[in-house]
Every structure is written in structure tokens, then in C-alpha cells.
Structure 1
Amino acid sequence: MKIAVVGATGATGRRVVKHALAQGHFVTAVARSPERLSTADRLSLARGDVLSAGGLTGAFDGVEAVISCIGPEKNLSPGTLMSVGVANILTECKHANVRRFVMQSGIGLSDGRELSWPNRLVVRLSSRIFNAAIIDKAVAERMTQKTDMEWVIVRPVVLADKPAKGRYTAGQSARVAPLIPLSFDDCADCLLRAATDEPNWIGKIVNVGS
């Protein structure tokens, strides 16, 4: 399958690229500085700026699925990276006739109804602390839900640079623990599943964690 990964030099994006190549997919890694990635068979590098209108032109040509791994570096003051970035990604997806779009979001966007009551409190508290990031991601999620492509929104719990477990909980309204870290590799695996498999996830919001 031909997949584009936006934000390919980030912590999650790098892992998505690695997993996709390992599974035999053709990958276009899109980033502001794609040269930070090592070259590999079936890997194409594309320079792109999600905050610039037209900054992704041509990046998705011939691509079947796009995975967005963009996210603010400073959660307390994220600006409009998610809302503007996802809007520009969706515009280029439409131009390139991309079939499926997967957006990495966060568990903080949940209203907590599917979680245990202690975890519901955790999510509500974190949404207040990271209110600016939540608002920005919420706009991006709403735009994604309105697209006429096949879409999946993936909401991981807190992520950490640790070894992959290879098993995790993922699904619509999945009961996850927001404060138990999920490895970037396991999150990447879930994002890739959303892009290449899991037909029951299409048009759904998927929680992923422990």
C-alpha cells in the first residue's frame, strides 16, 4: 500500500515510517526537514509545511492513505498547528484523491464516559490544564469527521519512549488508562492498522492505551 506520513520526523511519525516499511508498504515521509530521516527502500522523502497554504502540494500524489502525526511541541501554548495543519492536509488529500485519512489526536478529547470514574476525573483535569491544545485538536477532529474520505481518529493515552509491548487496547470507546504510558511504537502500530486494515474503525474515534 502507498502511505504518506505527515510529521514523519516526530516521535510517533518516525515509528510509523519504520513499521510501514517493515510491513512492505511504500511510504512518503512528509516533514519540514525530511533529510533528518535515513534513506531506505520504498521510502520517498517530501518537504512539506502543514501551516502554509499549498505547502503540501504534490506530497500525496499516488498515495492511498495519509497518516497525520503532527502535534504541538508545547501543549500549554500550541497555537493553531492542529486546526490549520489538518485543514491543509485535508485540502491536499482531496486534490490527490486520497482514500483514507488517519489523524493522531489524544485521549484528552474524550468526554470520559467510556472510562472508569477515576480515569474520567484524570481526563477532565488534564483537559483543563491543556485547554488550548484541546481546543485546537477539537477543531481538527471536527474537520476530519466532516470529510468525505474514509477517516479514523486515533486518541492515544500519554506516550513514552519505551519498548513496545506489542499488545494494547484499541477500539471505539475502549476503556483505557490515560496515565499509564503507551510506547510510541505501539501507538504507531495502531495508526498503521487504522490506515491499512480495521474496516470497522472507519468513521470512528478509536481510543488506544493499556
Structure 2
Amino acid sequence: MKIAVVGATGGTGRKVIERALVLGHEVIAVARRPEAVSPAKGLTVRKGDVLDQHSMLNAITGAEVVISCIGPPSNLSPESAAKSLGNIRAGILTIAANFSPGRVMSEGIPNIISACQRTGVKRIVMQSGINLSNGKELSLINGLAVRLMRSIFWKAIQDKSMAEQALIQSGLDWVIVRASVLQYAEGTLNYTAGPLARIQPLGALPFADCADCLVRAATSEPEWTRKIVNVGR
């Protein structure tokens, strides 16, 4: 399958590319800075800005499915996190990004949707966060944790919620993947995923495991179509 990965230079996006290539898929990496994407067999790199609808149209042309990994920028690369800075600084910068998320998702996702509709792409998978849940499917304690996060990161919730609603109303074969807290760590492929899955919102999940779930949603889980999937520990 030919997969366009939007947000290819982020923590999840890089891992989605790696996982999709390992599984034998062709990948189009879409990034504002194409030079930041390492070349690989089966990989095509295209310049694309989610806030520019025309560039997204060109970027995903020829894809069969789109995976969106866009989100509030933390200005921290995976390489930086791996070099002694560790998950503490990564977490701090991610938290800061969620306090001031801008409108990357609420404006970017509609542009991706429009590009899909105009190029004939039927399936789109969007990475979101478990703090978009109302917590009712989780345990009492985890539900309280989600509601606390919603009150703290309300700006990011608002931005992502607008993006989710745009996708739900798009008419495409969408899947929304709501991930728990993510971390730079080795993937295990040992995680819980599915509609209404009871996960731990604060149980850190490696980006690689979230990426595997996104690739599954795009290629091998037809029963997830037009559903919201939780992924975490």
C-alpha cells in the first residue's frame, strides 16, 4: 500500500515511516523541511505545509491512504531527546506546546481532508490524544486523570477537537487514534488498542508503538473504520 505520512519529521511521524517500510509499504513522507527526512528504499519525500491547502494537494497525490501525525510543535527533535536530555526535557517542551498549540490541527486537518477528497484518497488516519476522551470508558482514577488534563490543556483540546469533528464530518473512511502520553523509548509492540480500549492515560507509550497502531489503522484494521481508537498501556 502507498501511505502518505503528514508530519513526517515528528516523534511519531518518523516511527510511522520506519514501521510502514519494514512492513513492505511504499511511503510518501510529507514535511515542511524535506531535508530533515533520511532517504530510504521505498520512501519518497515531498515538501508540504498543512496550513497551505495547495501544497497538501501536491504532497499526497498518488497515495492510497493518509496518516496525519501533526500536532503542537515542541521544537525538540528525536535526536535531541536521545542525547542525554532524556524524556524529562521532551515532556516539558511537549507540555509547553500544549499550553500554546496554535491552530495547527484545526486548520491543518481540514486542508488534509480537502486534499484527500480532491485526489481520491478514501482512508485517513489521524493521531490525536486520549485527553479528548470524556473518560467514561476508562477506570475511575484514569477517567479523573483525563478530566484533569482536559481542564489544564484546554487550548490544545479545543484545537484537536475541531480537527476531530472536521474528520468525522468529512465522509471519508476515517480512524482517529487517541494515544496516551508518548515517550522516546524502544518500542515493544506490547500495547492495548481498540475502540473504547481501557488504557492508562499517563502510562507512557513509546512513539514506535503508537506508530505501529497508526499503520495498523491505515492498512489492516477495517473494523476500526469511522471509529475512535484508544492506544496505550
TM range (shorter): over 0.9
Amino acid at match of 1:87: P
Q: CA deviation at 1:129?
A: 0.8
Name 2:215's counterpart in structure 1.
192
Question: What secondary structure does 2:113 align onto?
Answer: helix
Name 1:19's counterpart in structure 2.
19
Larger helix proportion of the pair: 2
Amino acid at match of 1:146: Q
| 1:179 has 2:199 as partner | no
Name 1:204's counterpart in structure 2.
227
| 1:129 has 2:159 as partner | no
Gaps of 5+ in 1: none
Q: How does 1:1-210 map to 2 (within 5 A)?
A: 1-73=1-73, 74-210=97-233
TM-score, scaled relative to structure 1? 0.98
Q: CA deviation at 1:167?
A: 1.4
Question: What secondary structure does 2:21 align onto?
Answer: helix
Question: What secondary structure does 2:55 align onto?
Answer: coil
d(CA) in 2 for partners of 1:85, 1:170: 25
CA RMSD, 1 decimal: 0.7
TM-score, scaled relative to structure 2? 0.89
d(CA) in 2 for partners of 1:194, 1:63: 15
Name 2:90's counterpart in structure 1.
none
Amino acid at match of 1:190: C
Amino acid at match of 1:75: N
Q: CA deviation at 1:194?
A: 0.2
Q: CA deviation at 1:57?
A: 2.6
Question: What secondary structure does 2:60 align onto?
Answer: coil
d(CA) in 2 for partners of 1:4, 1:126: 31
Contact 2:29 / 2:45 at 8 angstroms: preserved in 1?
yes
Gaps of 5+ in 2: 74-96
Residues 12-58 of structure 1: per-residue CA shift (max 9 Å, x gap): 00000000111111100001001111111110001001012323131
Total equivalences in the alignment:
210
d(CA) in 2 for partners of 1:170, 1:53: 32
Question: What secondary structure does 1:95 align onto?
Answer: helix
Residues 180-207 of structure 1: per-residue CA shift (max 9 Å, x gap): 1000000000000000011110010000
d(CA) in 1 for partners of 2:189, 2:226: 25
